[in-house]
Amino acid sequence: MPPATAVRIADAALEVLGTGGIHALSHARVDATAGLPAGSTSNYFRTRAALVAGAIARLEQFDEEQWQATVAAGRPSSPAGLADAFAAFVESAAGAQRTMTVARYVISVQGVVEPALLETLNANRRRVADWAAAVLTDLGVPDARDTASALLAGAEGLILHRLTGFAAIPAGPHLLRLIGADR
């Protein structure tokens, strides 16, 4: 992501998406949310599509930062450790990172009708699934790739349930069950 102002605009776009949805996204609203003069967003992102692309690029940057922190913390050495790592992800995504998570889901849902929006988001998902599959393989879990996909889907489902107020069940035991280590 280029200059600090572009990052500020992309962060504001994610804020708008995460609090108001796709229909709330406008250059004027992003200018106001970022605390910038009218027209600033348009100077960096000429179209609404470019603004969404900027928000996606910012998500990618955030994901990379989170990924580096996860890798730096070390690989889980047990199924329970992996379940704990994913449970912490669920807690963060539905808690401290709630607005960014909602923005990601808004873009994902819009991606159903505009598939190009999903390229970066799905690439990030694949990276997490590949990492989990490698950990599961090292732990001797059968069908590691399929288990990793189920684990990621389970975590995303738990996040969605928390965001929508459907249920806030403890994530760890359910994620451990997906790994198959509770049997």
Go through the domains of the chain in sequence order and give each one's CATH number. 1-57 (1.10.10.60), 75-183 (no CATH)
Q: What is the mean pLDDT of the chain?
A: 92
pLDDT at 145 > cutoff 60: yes
Is the separation of the CB atoms in 102 and 18 below 8 Å?
A: yes
Which residues 6+ apart lie within 8 Å of 148 measured at CB? Answer: 129, 130, 132, 133, 136
The candidate with the shortest Cα–Cα distance to 145, out of 155, 130, 156, is 130
pLDDT for res 180: 83
Residue 183 has pLDDT above 50, yes or no: no
Mean pLDDT of all residues in 34-60: 95
Q: Is the model's pLDDT at 157 over the cut of 50?
A: yes
Helix boundaries (H) for 74-138: 79-94, 98-111, 118-138
What's the rounded mean pLDDT across residues 164-171? 91
Answer whether residue 59 shows pLDDT above 70. yes
pLDDT recorded at residue 182: 55
Res. 1 pLDDT band, cuts 50 70 90 = very low
